[in-house]
Amino acid sequence: MLNRFPSDIMNDETTQQDVLERTEPESELLVAYLDGELDAQSVRQMEDRLAVEPGLRDKMTSLEQTWNLLNELETVPADKELVRSTMEVVTLTIEKEVKDDEKLLEKRKWLNRLVPAVIFLMFGVIGYQLAVLVGIHQQNQLVKDIPIIRDVNMYKEIDSFDFLRALSEKRVFDPPADNLLSDELPLREEETQL
Would you say residue 102 lies in a domain? no
d(CA 44, CA 50): 10
Q: How confident is the model at residue 48 (pLDDT cuts 50, 70, 90)?
A: very high
Q: What percent of the chain has pLDDT over 90?
A: 14
Question: What is the predicted pLDDT for the residue at 177?
Answer: 58
Mean pLDDT, rounded, of the chain: 77
Choose one of 16, 45, 72: the last residue of a domain: 72
Q: What is the DSSP string of 15-50?
A: -HHHHHHHHHHHHHHHHHHHHT-S-HHHHHHHHHHH
Choose one of 72, 87, 110: the last residue of a domain: 72
Q: What percent of the chain has pLDDT over 70?
A: 76
Structural domain count, the chain: 2
Question: What is the predicted pLDDT for the residue at 95?
Answer: 92
Domain residue limits at 149: 145-193
What pTM did the predictor assign? 0.31
Would you say residue 187 lies in a domain? yes
Of 9-18, 35-44, 133-142, highest mean pLDDT: 35-44
CA angle 81-86-89, nearest 5°?
A: 130
Would you say residue 79 lies in a domain? no
How confident is the model over 63-71, as a mean pLDDT?
A: 84
> Does residue 164 have a pLDDT over 80?
no
pLDDT tens by residue, 74-124: 887 778 888 888 899 999 999 999 999 898 888 888 888 888 889 999 999
Cβ of 146: how many Cβ atoms within 10 Å?
11
Would you say residue 182 lies in a domain? yes
Higher pLDDT, 39 or 5: 39
Q: How confident is the model at residue 181 (pLDDT cuts 50, 70, 90)?
A: very low
Would you say residue 94 lies in a domain? no
Choose one of 21, 47, 72: the last residue of a domain: 72
End-to-end CA distance of the chain: 122
Would you say residue 149 lies in a domain? yes
Q: How confident is the model at residue 41 (pLDDT cuts 50, 70, 90)?
A: very high
Would you say residue 109 lies in a domain? no
Would you say residue 64 lies in a domain? yes
